[in-house]
Amino acid sequence: MYQDFAENWGPSLARRFGLEQPIVDQWHDDLQLPKSELGHLPDWVELNRATRSRIARCKEQWSGETVVCVGNGPSINQMDLSCLDGALIVGTNRAYQLLDRFTPREFHLVVQDNQRVAELGQDLRQLKCPLHLGNIYYDQRGVPPEWVTPKMRNLSVYMPRLRWQLEEDQLEPIPDFEPGFSSDPTQFVYYGFSVIFSAIQFAAYFGAARIVCIGIDMDYDSGTNFVPGVNVTWDGFSYEYHAKPMFELIDQKLRKSGIEFINATPRGKVDAIDRMPLAEALSRKTPRLAA
């Protein structure tokens, strides 16, 4: 047990807690504690601690404004995005590839899946906008923590809300994908089953009075992404099971906070929030300004 703790968290932290090998081993024997398979979790926790102040500096930066959260659904290819010129944007995954179609006032990019981070790594290194990177896997599938470094001044690492799963007498940390809403992304974010949910929680933290979503098709009969040939879903995905409960919960949370929540995706399955054309959503006065 002591060796596991020291390997995962480091001998200096073990000493800081006053933990010595006989004490930790006795805990394990007396309490019959399962071993913990932490993988890269301690590295990501440290990266979160090292960069969370960069998220905190953005709190309320867009107070009272309309913020557009950009998903990656194929319907984006049927939209005129020129009305996003001068808009405040929280993009997800490949949304940075749309920046030749509009010029935002400010643009943040959120990527919550290690696999997406690995796929987009070379592009992400070149981007100058604020990057908020999450993580799902802490084992060999995870992005090596040395790739994600606080030395990238535009980078912050955020954490999912974690729960612990017992597998073959070992505790493993996994994201809690149940519906939820975090008011403080510096601590954790409820991932749901789509990166758009992370983007929405960031937009609210940034002070949005209205959050408008585009590219949230959740219906992939005609493709999965606005970039041809990209497949980012799994065969078992169901909007009704994996996404609708999260949209409903977020809509309730935002309404209670006085934040308007609009779906400006021109098609798709998302029926849990009000739908409105993008140009109309952007031209309306924001609720706080109207008041």
pTM of the model: 0.87
141-154 residue pLDDT tens: 788 888 888 888 99
Judge whether residue 221 has pLDDT over 80. no
Contact 193, 237 (CB under 8 A): yes
How far is it, in rounded angstroms, from Cα 167 to Cα 186?
29
Q: How confident is the model at residue 289 (pLDDT cuts 50, 70, 90)?
A: very low
The residues near 289 (Cβ < 8 Å, ≥ 6 apart) are: 64, 209
Q: Is the dihedral of CA 229, 234, 239, 242 positive or negative?
A: negative
**Averaged pLDDT, 95-118:** 95
Q: What percent of the chain has pLDDT over 70?
A: 85
Per-residue tokens: 214: 């585009």
How far is it, in rounded angstroms, from Cα 275 to Cα 268?
11
Judge whether residue 247 has pLDDT over 90. yes
Pinpoint the residues of the chain covered by CATH 3.90.1480. Answer: 37-290
253-271 residue pLDDT tens: 999 999 999 999 998 999 9
Per-residue tokens: 242: 């994996």
Task: Tell me 93's DSSP state.
Answer: G
How far is it, in rounded angstroms, from Cα 248 to Cα 201?
14
The residues near 12 (Cβ < 8 Å, ≥ 6 apart) are: none
How far is it, in rounded angstroms, from Cα 83 to Cα 233?
29
- Report the range out of 64-68, 220-224, 230-234 with the highest average pLDDT: 64-68
Q: How confident is the model at residue 3 (pLDDT cuts 50, 70, 90)?
A: low
pLDDT at position 137: 87
Helices (H), ranges, 206-274: 244-256
- Taking each helix axis from N to C terminus, what angle separates 41-56 and 2-9, rounded to the nearest 10 degrees? 40
How far is it, in rounded angstroms, from Cα 55 to Cα 275?
30
Radius of gyration of the chain (CA): 21
Judge whether residue 72 has pLDDT over 80. yes
32-52 residue pLDDT tens: 667 778 888 888 999 999 999
pLDDT at position 245: 97
Judge whether residue 4 has pLDDT over 90. no
Phi, psi at residue 242, to the nearest 5°?
-90, -20
Query: Which range has the worst mean pLDDT, 77-81, 86-90, 171-175?
Result: 171-175
How far is it, in rounded angstroms, from Cα 47 to Cα 159?
10
User: Which of these CATH numbers, 3.30.1490, 3.90.1480, 2.60.120, 1.20.272, describes 37-290?
Assistant: 3.90.1480
**Averaged pLDDT, 94-106:** 97
pLDDT at position 47: 93
Judge whether residue 14 has pLDDT over 60. no
180-219 residue pLDDT tens: 999 999 999 999 999 999 999 999 999 999 999 999 999 8
Q: Is the dihedral of CA 186, 188, 190, 191 positive or negative?
A: positive
How far is it, in rounded angstroms, from Cα 202 to Cα 69?
9
Report the candidate in 176, 143, 149 with the shortest Cα–Cα distance to residue 160: 176
Query: Which range has the worst mean pLDDT, 1-5, 268-272, 285-289?
Result: 1-5
Q: State the chain's mean pLDDT as an integer.
A: 87
Judge whether residue 18 has pLDDT over 80. no
Query: Which range has the worst mean pLDDT, 77-86, 164-173, 191-200?
Result: 164-173
pLDDT at position 24: 53
Rounded to an integer, what is the distance from CA 248 to the centroid of its chain? Answer: 18
The residues near 260 (Cβ < 8 Å, ≥ 6 apart) are: 209, 210, 211, 254, 286, 287
pLDDT at position 30: 63
The residues near 144 (Cβ < 8 Å, ≥ 6 apart) are: 40
Q: How confident is the model at residue 285 (pLDDT cuts 50, 70, 90)?
A: confident
Residues forming beta bridges with residue 68, ordered by sequence position: 89, 212
Contact 275, 264 (CB under 8 A): yes
E strand or H helix that includes residue 53: helix 41-56
